[in-house]
Amino acid sequence: MTGSRVQPPYALLAELTHRCPLRCVYCSNPVELTRADSELSTADWSRVIAEAADLGVLQIHFSGGEPLLRDDLEQLINRAFRNGVYTNLITSGVGLDAARAESIARSGVNSVQLSVQAADPLLSNCIAGRNAFAAKQAAAQCLIAAGLPLSMNVVLHSLNIDQLESIVDTCVDWGADRIELANVQFYNWALLNRDLLLPTRDQLAKAESIYRSKKVELGNRVELIWIISDYHERYPKPCMGGWGRVQLTVSPDGKVMPCPVASTISTLSFESVKDRNLAWIWQRSPAFNQFRGFEWMPDPCRGCERRFEDFGGCRCQAFALTSSADRTDPACHLSPDHHLITGALKSVSTTETCEPLTDNEKIHAFQRMRYRQPP
């Protein structure tokens, strides 16, 4: 595929830092985190933002790690704002006081997404590996007081999915007008803890019915979004809307990738914004062109009618589970590697009980998990 036929991207995920006060057991950041002294400078990021706007990027998601740890966060949001780009801040809320919320609002941010781990402090703090629940509630108040629209995001897994109703109620209480219920996706830290985080079919079915009834109850007051658990589906997710089709990620040290997890594909090499401009990397770099279009696809994707909607699923998942990035996503029931998914599901269904776990049983599960560690 030649560069000129590549459609421009709509969105950029700017991972400003991998530093984070939380240690969540399902963190999607790499297992080998980027060190603070390798992070891009303010000048580098300003150039990347301008290049992204020129390339056709309409939205920039400022994320991390915890982007509040960058002193130049407001400056970078404002750079995007002045380039006419829609900006979204994705934060844990830890360290966000009234003054910072006001300064973020003044920078011209369009929306803020606050993460929450559970509906109560005990479970929330177990998941995040630190006491953060009260800080998050305070952050929500500061954001609302600063006049910012508040989205909230919760990652759902076997240990919090049974309290979905209270989680949604908590988000509504805190003032969210948009709530993303994201079933855990198994990459990086989450993959290391998969057997302890994977919900059973029964848990997922119950949660999905709660989501449906809450959606009706909330109507158009609050937007409720459900992100599927691909392990429980027959067909794979259309990951990132297709490799290098709608979105790109710049990592804290400047690597440009189709998604934040792509650095796990050790057989690809990604270009850096320090060496090339963003347009060249998007249009011409071998890593971006590797899985564009349909020519690269193996069977059964190659002749499948669904290839135009799911693009063969997720390349990172194929690599993580089969060591080959160009195989069909094992989440697809037609994949020759699908037993890798059904095997994982079988191992959790044998421990399935009708009763939700007690607090002590949950704490015991967390003692067996691997928490995110700094480099």
Partner 1 sequence: MSGLLTKEARLALSRKALLKHDRVRSSVVLLLPERVIKLNPAGAAILQLCDGARTLVKIIDELQTHYGDAAIETDVAAFLADAIARGWLEVR
Positions that interact with partner 1 (CB under 8 A): 8, 10-11, 55-56, 58-59, 61, 84, 86, 88, 110-111, 113, 147, 149, 151, 177-178, 220-221, 223
Smallest distance from partner 1 to CB 351, Å = 35
In degrees and rounded to multiples of 5, residue 151 shows phi and psi of -100, 150
Task: Pick the closest to residue 123 from 82, 156, 172 (CA basis).
Answer: 156
Cβ neighbours of residue 306 closer than 8 Å, sequence gap 6 or more: 235
Among residues 147 and 303, whose Cβ is nearest to partner 1? Answer: 147
Minimum separation from the CB atom of position 345 to partner 1 (A): 29
Q: Which is nearer to partner 1, 177 or 233 (CB)?
A: 177
Retrieve residue 96's tokens: 């966000």
User: What is the C-alpha end-to-end distance of the chain, expressed in Å?
Assistant: 38
Strands ordered across the beta sheet of 150-156: 223-227, 178-183, 150-156, 111-115, 86-91, 59-63, 11-15, 247-250, 256-257
DSSP code at position 224: E
Q: How far is the CB of 39 from partner 1 (least distance, A)?
A: 25
Closer residue to partner 1 (CB): 34 or 151: 151
Q: For residues 222 and 302, give the distance between their C-alpha atoms in angstroms, rounded to a whole number.
A: 40
Tell me the three state secondary structure of residue 170.
Answer: helix
- The CB-of-144 to partner 1 minimum distance in angstroms stands at 11
> Cβ of residue 339: shortest distance to partner 1, in angstroms?
34
Closer Cβ to partner 1, 178 or 307, answer by number: 178
Q: Give me the least distance between CB of 180 and partner 1, in Å please.
A: 8
Residue closer to partner 1 by CB (options 2, 220) is 220
**Which CB sits closer to partner 1, 111 or 137?**
111
Which CB atom, from 89 or from 320, has the smaller least distance to partner 1?
Answer: 89
- Comparing CB distances to partner 1, the nearer of 78 and 113 is 113
Minimum distance between the CB of residue 58 and partner 1, rounded to whole angstroms? 6
C-alpha dist (Å) from residue 140 to 86, 117, 286, 340:
21, 14, 42, 40
Q: How many residues does the chain have?
A: 375
CB of 223 to partner 1, least distance (A): 6
Do 8 and 279 contact (CB within 8 A), yes or no?
no
Vertex 316, ends 313 and 319: CA angle to 5°? 105
